[in-house]
């Protein structure tokens, strides 16, 4: 994946003022961002989250997933620490896109779980590509992270790109009647670590 840094600016948020760094994937024309707070390039492990875009969860507060609450919890944790990085990757629906995600939701309404729905549409269970992280991490001079995630693939992706994951921090925001099956499927079929302690 070929990516280039574009520009940075300040981003005031409800949690505090972040620096927003924009990157473009030259091959797909997708745009990705990193929100940082404090000096993340000083060599010390950086509190971090790799978050894939979820318009329904992040913007519309969907209760079918835990994406929006995880995003909020990660930004709040970074702000509380005063230093950290949130990588926001434009990979809607585990990489299948927004319209296919709506189709997958329709299949889930009929009884399929989230993995079965993707597969019925002809996709893999998880189509996300984390190689875009490499140029982003390199630009920010991040060498070690304390990663907020339940997904072992994200730990592996960072380590493959030369980043030392010194700690995995569990990020659980609670279940509700609309996402219980989704969370169970992530644990049972995708290997997500749903323990509370990390």
- Establish whether 186 is an annotated binding residue: no
Of these residues, 25, 58, 66, 126, which one is catalytic? 126
Is 126 one of the annotated active-site residues of the chain? Answer: yes
- Establish whether 54 is an annotated binding residue: yes
Of 134, 64, 131, the residue nearest 93 (C-alpha): 64
- Establish whether 67 is an annotated binding residue: yes
Of 32, 116, 15, 132, the residue nearest 73 (C-alpha): 15
CA 194 to each of CA 92, 171, 180, 197: distance values in angstroms, whole numbers, following the listed order: 22, 9, 12, 9
Question: Hey, what are 49's tokens?
Answer: 């989250």
Of these residues, 66, 128, 146, 168, which one is catalytic? 128
- Establish whether 83 is an annotated binding residue: no
- Establish whether 49 is an annotated binding residue: yes
- Establish whether 93 is an annotated binding residue: yes
Whole-angstrom distance, CA of residue 89 vs CA of residue 29: 13
Residues annotated within a binding site: 49-54, 65, 67, 70, 92-94, 114, 149, 154
Catalytic residue set: 126, 128
Residues annotated within a binding site for Zn(2+): 54, 65, 67
């Amino acid at each position: 994946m070929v990516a280039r840094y574009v520009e940075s600016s300040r981003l005031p948020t409800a949690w505090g003022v972040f620096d927003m760094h924009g990157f473009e994937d030259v091959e797909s024309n997708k745009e990705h961002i990193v929100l940082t707070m404090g000096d993340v390039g000083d060599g010390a492990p950086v509190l971090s989250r790799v978050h894939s875009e979820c318009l329904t969860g992040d913007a519309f507060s969907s209760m079918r997933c835990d994406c929006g609450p995880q995003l909020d919890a990660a930004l709040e944790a970074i702000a509380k620490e005063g230093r950290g990085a949130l990588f926001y990757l434009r990979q809607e629906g585990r990489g299948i896109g927004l319209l296919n995600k709506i189709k997958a939701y329709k299949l889930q309404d009929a009884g399929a779980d989230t993995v079965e729905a993707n597969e019925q549409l002809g996709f893999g269970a998880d189509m996300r590509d984390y190689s875009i992280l490499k140029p982003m991490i390199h630009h920010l001079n991040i060498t070690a992270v304390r990663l907020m995630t339940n997904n072992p693939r994200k730990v592996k992706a960072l380590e493959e790109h030369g980043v030392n994951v010194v700690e995995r921090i569990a990020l659980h925001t609670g279940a509700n009647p609309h996402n219980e099956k989704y969370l169970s499927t992530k644990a049972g079929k995708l290997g997500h670590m749903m323990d509370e302690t990390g």
